[in-house]
Structure 1
């Protein structure tokens, strides 16, 4: 019963949300008590047959009362607006260096992938006291990622990325729900978020057999899906080079400028004709229907990794041995969407 009246609070955002909710609850209670008290007093004092004076209120008193009431209401409104909006804006911007986890929603499950590579279905393991950034997309319809104990809820949309973040404060297991009606089994689209001490999370991560890294998976896809045929150093096809590209601002052929982020890379893969880089021909084919959301996530991680550590060539930073993209022998057959390089097994889809 106590959990019903006082829900579990397990994140930094939850504490801020609860304080704001408590203030609104107390303020609403005070106003409600004042209104009902005045109704009761006036109903008794000015009942039919009472001797209470019923003359008009002096004009100056009436004017001062109206001005004071209006000013007090405006002040309270501005204060609440500032507090709520500042909390909401802060919740939109994850701290620098936050742990990034990719979430793909699908009727009717949650698929998550850690930067080191491990995938989960309807589960998400995270370390306590660590900011976690969720980069989310949907494979079909609109979903909504909702963790009541963290007080976070964010729509997950098909065809684009949305993001939110949280910092869990208490180890434990917390309910994950879809808060947007998404079809027949909407009520079954649930999971759990497992918050672990940092050392336990590190052990859990290291014990996962598939912990090979998103960027390394993306490096393999970069070759097997034919991206290396155009974008690798030494390619005979004139295409933008990817080393150091992520996070930069690039000019487009129509005079606009765009920031190369996750959304830009996704659009460039699925809708290459939409934002054409200045000075390049629109020759890239669309990979819509060819690459799954999980593969796009891995390719994005690889492109982001091309800002290499010192002393290593950018194009080899995340590539596993033998798969670092190099000059192609003529025009690569893998430049055709869906066709793998000879001798390379087709890349698997998302989990």
Structure 2
């Protein structure tokens, strides 16, 4: 219907897009007037909508008896180009695009503006993700007169609503049907009722169910709801918006789960205990029995030898000290005391008694004996523990 040029506004010093309306030579004057009026209508409809998903129109001028629309320039590709070049889109991206287009349609419907030509070629996708609905060339407001001749149908047959194909009254649900067909094409790579030619295609739109959609996934119910033949039973904007938001949330959660690296779960194990030191006991000689200690504990092999070696000097010292004391006490006894004949003179008793205590046990001897006894007690206590 027209060609879009990239231009530069010398007055405002900015780049703009200029849409040229193509008027073929030999076109009857009546149809020429209708085409020019439709261009002005497009400019007015877009200018009324202040929405991020609707292209902004700056001005409209007429030169050489043809109108030119001055609008924002977008570095973008149409959804139709993306499908042709890159293939089908995943449900998440299709739902995001659908939600943006739906928001633009709601803004237009609030002003009683019907787009009437929603299709992949009129949906622009910018590199930053922005989605823009453009080409309001066949849009119509209720207070504007009809510009179509009798029997002339405006719009694309593959995306037109059944009530419009039948020539019946239509409204906002017709744009929603076209939105459903557009999203179907983004998911499956082709329109849902395409039969090659306009008449068979419109017959399928009116009478046949949409083709299967194996790639729709969670969007299948949404698409089927929008493609309902009966406009009264077709999903409305609010129900469609709620369903697409739910799909977007679910798909984002699923994608984040799949892309996240697996979390390593630390095994809950008992803390390591101190290593047990097991000392191998030496073999016990045959015919011997372990010595039983206090508390039922058996004395370790070799423990008796160690005890004997440690206590022998102490016992020897104690015995020697005791022997000295005893011998000192017994060395001066009379022969009569023992019942044996005395070899000493009869006058010797007093001298003998004195000599018996002439060298009594010293304190050093007693202390040595006492120390030996204490040492023996300490050693026995240590070995017993």
Same fold by TM-score, threshold 0.5 exceeded? Answer: no
Q: TM-score, normalised to structure 2's length?
A: 0.21
Q: TM-score, normalised to structure 1's length?
A: 0.22
Highest RCO, 1 vs 2 (Cα 8 Å, sep ≥ 6): 1
Considering only CA atoms, is the larger Rg found in Structure 1 or Structure 2?
Answer: 2
More helix by share: 2
More strand by share: 1
